[in-house]
Amino acid sequence: MNLKISALEYVQEVKNGNISAEDYVAKTIEHIQNVDDKLHAFLSVNNDAIDQAREIDKKIKSGKKVGDCFGMPISIKDNLCIKGSKTTCASKMLKDFIAPYDATAITKLKEQDAIFVGKVNMDEFAMGLTTEFSAYGPSKNPWNTEYVPGGSSGGSAVSVSAFECVASLGSDTGGSVRNPASFCSTVGYKPTYGLISRFGLISYANSIEQIGPLTRTVKDTAFMLNLISGIDPNDNTTIDNHQEDYLSGIDSGIEGKKIGIIQEMMGEGIDPSVLRATKEAISKLEGLGAICENVSLDMVKYSVAAYYTITATEAGSNLARYDNLRYGYDFPVEGYEFNSYISKARKNFGPEVTRRMILGGFVPSSGHAGKYFLKALKVKTKLTKEINDAFEKFDLLIAPTVPILPFKFGEKIDNPISLFLVDINTITANLTGKPAISVPFSHSNGLPIGIQLIANSNHDKLLLQAAYALEQTVTLPVVPL
């Protein structure tokens, strides 16, 4: 059975009776068992998945209405709640936490008869760029297991790239879907802020994070977006997209569209092979009738500092609940007074989470808030104005998703500043609430390169049309498993 099909191909094959959901899901679980010891994408596997697929086959045979997913096997980042399942955020602090409810995105996928084959690995509490900060060990890049897969949604990207599922859900706070998508050669989508409900996503930085799909093709991303987007009474930040069909007209092309080439994302520090690939992508888009011109966003150079200041502040607030009284693990109370107990219990946080909690307590504190946090908010405001001004002239913006190629494990983990700069091209979309997508485009020395397109808020459909047009210009290899 061919596991290397897209989500839409899977749906068509099941509809046509060429495959059954049970057989496909069983083959997927078998494949996970065969390859995941090497890749470590999964933290847990759903033991009921095959039985669930069998029930969907029964619905199909009996002529009952079946959801649009037709038993499609999907992996879920382990910071999204699935009722009755462990949701650990790849942290020892939540190693035994069983989610009491479903995230809204999960509810919507269940209504469409999706099957969740398991929870996938991530940087602890989504704080990281390589999946090296998982408390349960890193995931491995399927293109070369000596290299990082990106993060924090590394497990999601690996599982899609390595055919351990048809699609995955991740979360993107500063590039955490697009970064691993680029490193693992999948499509990664960060929607307009508010397009997908965050209810049931364990919070890192509420003001900028978003749930986003990782898929094999741009059409699959549009398909997933159709299923999980829209207003949610449980999340007051959601927006009404009027049940937009993102698949409709996806092949409309981009002739006459103006695309801005972000100069600050193409300069110092970019790997030559990434620069070449980006220029080739621009040339391909011009060949399709797009008009590409340079554009400058001066505040990009301050975006990393602003991002980590804002997110650390929000993370410090969100992580305060993990005092081992409301959430946590078995730990003896005797012999401790309150503060020392919490301090001891929090030693179960990993180094990156600890770093950001400390920073998050410092920057908004008395005497420092104006010096750091308020300045970061001003950068965010100015960057938003700059990008809004750019969209007065351009329909879309383009840059490399990540300015460098995937790197080896341990290469940057001891240099947080160098590691943070990996996100310099992706952070802008999060700080400004814009939709952005990473499209697999090229390889260098066997390692993938992704191209990022950014659109104005609520122009997700245009963004997907442009991404689809770019995707059609290349034919890429698949993971040699």
**Cα within 13 Å of Cα(429), Cβ side:** 40
Q: Is there a catalytic annotation at residue 152? A: yes
Tell me if 427 sits within 8 A of 175, measured CB to CB: yes
Amino acid residing at 198? R
Burial of 377 (0-12, 13-18, 19+ CB in 10 A): middle
SS3 33: helix
d(CA 284, CA 224): 26
Residue of 75, 171, 176, 229 marked catalytic: 176
Q: Is there a catalytic annotation at residue 77? A: yes
Q: Which two tokens stand for residue 329?
A: 């693990």
Q: Which residue has the tokens 């899609």?
A: 160
Q: Which two tokens stand for residue 300?
A: 């990009």
Q: Where are the alpha helices (DSSP H) in 162-298?
A: 178-184, 218-228, 272-287
d(CA 142, CA 447): 10
Burial of 12 (0-12, 13-18, 19+ CB in 10 A): middle
**Cα within 13 Å of Cα(239), Cβ side:** 13
Name 434's bridge partners: none
3-state helix, strand, coil in the chain (%, to 5): 40, 15, 45
Contacting residues for 202 by C-beta, under 8 A, at least 6 apart: 79, 80, 81, 87, 89, 125
Q: In the 8-state DSSP scheme, what is residue 438? A: E
The beta-carbon contacts of 344-351 under 8 Å, at least 24 apart in sequence, are 346/93, 346/322, 348/91, 348/92, 348/93, 349/91, 349/92, 349/93, 349/124, 349/319, 349/322, 350/91, 350/92, 350/124, 350/133, 350/135, 351/133
Residue of 20, 75, 77, 219 marked catalytic: 77
d(CA 424, CA 178): 12
Q: Which two tokens stand for residue 311?
A: 């997110």
Residue of 20, 85, 139, 152 marked catalytic: 152
Determine the length of the chain. 481
List active site positions: 77, 152, 176
